[in-house]
Structure 1
Amino acid sequence: MDPGASSSIERRPTRRIMVGDVPVGGGSPVTVQSMTITKTADVDGTLAQIYALAAAGADIVRCTCNETEAAEGLARIVPRSPVPIVADIHHQYKMALAALEAGVACLRLNPGNIRRPEHIKTVAMEAKDRGVPIRIGVNGGSLDPKLYEKYGGKVTPEAMVESAQMELAYFEEVDFTDVKISVKASNVPLMIEAYRQLADVTDFPLHLGVTEAGPLPGGYIKATAGIATLLAEGIGDTIRYSLTADPVEEARAGRQLLEAMGLRERKGVDLIACPSCGRAEVDVIGVAEAAQKAFGERQIPLQVAVMGCVVNGPGEARDADLGIAAGNKRGHLFVKGENVAVVPEDEMVDTLVEWADYIVEHGTEAALERARHTKAEAKKAAAEDRARNLGDRGDDANDSEAVVELIRKTI
């Protein structure tokens, strides 16, 4: 696990492989993958997307290799890529051999459409000679017809696991063991059960994903439901969100999921915000969105809170590194739950960014010392706004007690 990451998840022990200089499995950090959607022959366009993916959190990027021009493109892309490149191979085993010549760090083979044993073993032997790992990428939508027939014409977890094991058997014949495996499906319960069964019968590292998860926001939900469930069980060594969207969204989502689960050290801002209530004195959604836009992709590894009022805001977000709570047309800035400054409402977001930069550069204690002369005034102002807020709206700002009384009268 990364230094600084915090998780109680006990990860499943696996073998470790190296995808270029990135370790996968064997207790190494769970990695994020995505795939380019450019034509691989478009070298500059593909490299631009690879760099964007790397900036968004991708550790490994996959590119299609479906034609000679794509293989030639890979030969020009690989030396200039900031992350290891995986070649995605379907149907044509010779494209796998060409991708190896191009210098890729890993191959992805689909056992559902490269079926001749001699072809599979030829690729495995060539990969072994070069020290290049292979991902066995089983897909519920492209199983070998014999497996469909064996399992009653249905895609089952058992059929997917057997597909992976058949491929492994071919690899074992040529003593190739530098392998990771995926058993992806678009059906979330099917995907989860397939990975659970696979984890029970092999110790190879597993690549998680819900294939064809679809457009946003539904794609996020399906992918997270499958990937997070398995990660929480300790299953999974590398992940990909397969979204019908800009692939940068895939990398960003994967990174954020791992950070949220404590499986990777935070790199960007973790922005938390209250859901708002009758006490809110600003448009919390608007302020939170403005803050998210202001922080963007900046490498600020802090938890930052945007709260709608000073009644509960600083207390509820006391564990945040930094936050702001609205009250009486002004913002109450707090560091680790301690009020340190008061700023005009229209300066709240800019102030958050400024203080976040200061904390990253100088540390929390220095930030509190910076506010030494303003803390007393800030605390007094926060107390005044808190009292005024409760006085105007009462402790029951959402009138829940009145509703309770109404219910009692009607029963």
Structure 2
Amino acid sequence: MTKLKVYNQRKKLKYLFKIMKGMLRTMLCQFTFRNYRSYRDEAELSMQATSMKEFERSLIACPDGQSFLPVAAVYGPNAGGKSNLLEALDYVRSAVARPVRMLSARDGGLDEECPLMPRCSAFEFDDVSVSEPTEFELYYRAGNHEYRYALSVHADEIVYEGLWRRKLGASRSAMLFEREGVEIKLGPTLRKLATAASFNPSLPYLSFLCINFDAPVVKEAASWFLNGVFLNYNCSFLERALEQILDEADSPEITRFLSAVDVRIDGFRVEKASEGRNRRVFVRHNVGGKHYELRLPEESAGTQKLLGLAAFLLIAFNRGATVVIDELDAKLHPKLLRYVILLFKDPEVNKSGAQLIFSSQDVSTMRNDVFRRDEIWFAARGEGEASQLWSLADIHEANGNLVSRNAAFDKQYLSGRYGADPYLTRIEEWD
């Protein structure tokens, strides 16, 4: 990665960290998509809790009686589709959020050369899929409403977009807008607010509304996209960006978080940027009654990751947000991974209904004392090299019964009983 790209990404992450602090509570209900990267057919990730009885106390309860999952963990073989699932979710989030951040907050120092829409890649292993649009559909909640947002993209052009909302407890939803190409149809609520004329067809209409109209309905509808965050800890970029996003005011809370996982620091201080020099963070240590400071880059990769992770998690817990993390287990001890997961499942900590969606290769936490069965998901390649997605809650044993809540999930997974671990057979064939 070039220095220019790293610098621009640091500024974007800093601005993302800033706007997360001011958003209202949001929650993902369901995500459906098709024809994206390794996914040819429709795949669905549901955050709505099933009728299963385990960990009922950890569920996020809503005023209309619906309950949602605080956590979804995605497992599977390398190149099976775990990251592509999370990137699909991040694509639709970023499609709406990126233009808002670029065009509404120029003081954030965002890269104006960055395209308004992220690049969209269709399934490429058959000729039919390449010629068809990539489709996304989200159900999410913000404030007292549930929203349905649909987006279809082909060759990086938006061919369809639509937004509906339903008041919690109501049976019918109302259309806010529908778009086909450049043609916009507005529902009654937005018809009072805006006209469909003079918008840039290269960006989502929801982004256009958010940029141009300071109205509660628009702010609420866009809040999930602006509130959510995608982190990929399989790369070192986040550690390099930390010095630009850490806020010294958060030092006491972050220090308490790290202390709880036995990472011993006495806080940190931020040295503001000066001419010719970036911001610098110094981590304080108390050793043998003496005080020492280390530059943040001199700390271990694990400590740096926990510092950055804590900063985002504290905001998520305070405001309620969907946090999506690829390779959450990278550079984390299994006990720390378990600790982070259980924070989201603790209603005394997660009072605002934050959600964690992550991929992992560490099966040591795939246990019945950590997860509900509907919180465990698998992604793997199937026929025609197309990825498929399914939940442990949907798997039946040979006798026709669902997998028991008391089963050894990790051992059964590694034995191949859940259908997402093809390596054991192949390794045996090498002998």
Instruction: Flag whether TM exceeds 0.5 (same fold).
Output: no
Q: Identify the structure with the greater helix proportion.
A: 1
TM-score (norm 2): 0.31
Q: Identify the structure with the greater strand proportion.
A: 2
